[in-house]
Amino acid sequence: MIEIISGIFLLAGSSFILISAIGLLKMPDLYTRMSATTKASTLGIGLVLIGTAIYWVDLGIAARAIAIIIFLLLTAPVAAHIIGRAAYFDKVPLWEKTHIDELKGKYDEDSHELS
C-alpha cells in the first residue's frame, strides 16, 4: 500500500518536473521561463521527496525530505528574484507581447537604486 502511494507521488512529481523542463524550453523569454519553472520544479521535487519519505517509513528520512522541501520553498523564490532583477539590469529583453512594463526607467543605472 505504502509503496503504491509513494509510487504515485514519484510519478506525479516527476511529471511536474518534466513539465517545468518543457516550460524552460518553450517559454518565450527569461521572465516567463522563470515564472513557469520555479513553481513547477519546486512542487515536482517536493512531491518526489514526499514519495521518498513515504517509501522509507522512517522519521530520519522524512526529516531530511522535509528539510529539503522547506529549504527549496525558502530559496527558490529568492533565487528567481535575484536572477530576475539581475537580468533586468543586464537588459535581458522582454518578450514582445509583454504589454506593460512599470519598472522601465525606475532603476538608477549606476547605483542600481530603485525608486
- Please list every residue from 44 through 73 that binds other proteins, using CB under 8 A: 44-45, 48-49, 51-52, 55-56, 58-68, 71-73
CA dihedral 40→45→48→49, nearest 10 degrees, is -140
Q: Is 105 in the site for other proteins (CB under 8 A)?
A: no
Q: Under rule CB under 8 A, which residues in 71-100 are in contact with other proteins?
A: 71-90, 92, 94-95, 97-100
Q: Under rule CB under 8 A, which residues in 6-25 are in contact with other proteins?
A: 6-8, 10-11, 13-25
Instruction: Write the DSSP string, 48-71.
Output: HHHHHHHHTT-HHHHHHHHHHHHH
Total residues contacting other proteins by CB under 8 A comes to 96
CB of 109 to other proteins, least distance (A): 8
Dist. CA 23–CA 62, nearest whole Å: 29
Is residue 14 a contact partner of residue 44, using CB atoms and an 8 Å limit? yes
Residue matched to cell numbers 522509507: 56
CB of 50 to other proteins, least distance (A): 10
CA dihedral 44→35→110→74, nearest 10 degrees, is -40
CB of 96 to other proteins, least distance (A): 10
CB of 106 to other proteins, least distance (A): 8
